[in-house]
Structure 1
Amino acid sequence: MTTSTPETDSRTGHDHYHVLGATLSITADAETTDGEYLVLDMLVPPQFENGLHTHEQSEVFHVIEGEARLHVDGQDRILTPGTSGYVPGGEEHGFANEGDDVCRVIAVMTPGGAEGFFREIGQPTADRSLPDPVEPTAEMLQSVFATGEQYGFRFLGPLPERAE
């Protein structure tokens, strides 16, 4: 992955990135919030997961459309439109869209600063459209993991199977 210049959406002023098949729009970052938080507006394709990981920031996920699995500290919660889930800083967690429809999620991370990670691993795009589906290669994942370590992310592998 290479560092790239964002293409700012002239209608919203936000920058958008394709990240391993999802689209992330950065709507507020550390620079615009005095370092307090990062806000991501995410379009998450069907069958996408971000894997089990940790980072120092606390995080809130709020589902706007679709359904998502939030795995925190060994427990699963299904988030539906209008519901939110919280992840304490440093807690092992992961997020997945296990359904057949696109999921739209607002994620807020505090404090801010993780936007550098998403900007480095993402491919800038002029709009919020989803990219073609991506099957991440080992090389792509190693680049994401290495970049993530620079921002305090620790990747622990895929999400465990969901207990029914």
Structure 2
Amino acid sequence: MDKSLLGNKVITQIGLLVNDIDQTSQKYADFFGVEKPAWFWTDTADIAQTEYRGERSEARAKLAFFDMGSLQLELIEPDHNPSTWRESLDQNGEGFHHIAFVVDGMKEKIALLEAKGMPLLQKGEYTGGRYAYIDSYSELKMLVELLENDK
């Protein structure tokens, strides 16, 4: 029996906030000895349906991904709109933002975590699925991202 609240103990992704995705992704590519990945914008607000702290947000971000075996490194350069990305970058500077887990039953997982004192901070859709950032700082000293991919 899996006792994990999420039903999954495998960390899928580590997210880092950056000010310049081109420069930082090149530095990681050089460090890892791999090709620099192309970055892309998150979906527009009409598709993403982003909510931050319970309010609709036009927030978007540039994303670049490094697939490192069983773990993915995500670089995030946020735009100026309200989001957990922008807030964290402004308050804490560049660096660690979240760890992510793939889940089934996003709504149920959010409700379960909220009942444990870890409220939903931001959520949105992406082509092929949805994400949610959980404010787990008081319990885990970091943000947790839930990813649910369409079947």
TM over 0.5: no
TM-score, structure 2 as length reference: 0.30
The structure with the greater share of residues assigned to helix is: 2
TM-score, structure 1 as length reference: 0.29
| Higher relative contact order structure (alpha carbons within 8 Å, sequence separation ≥ 6) | 1
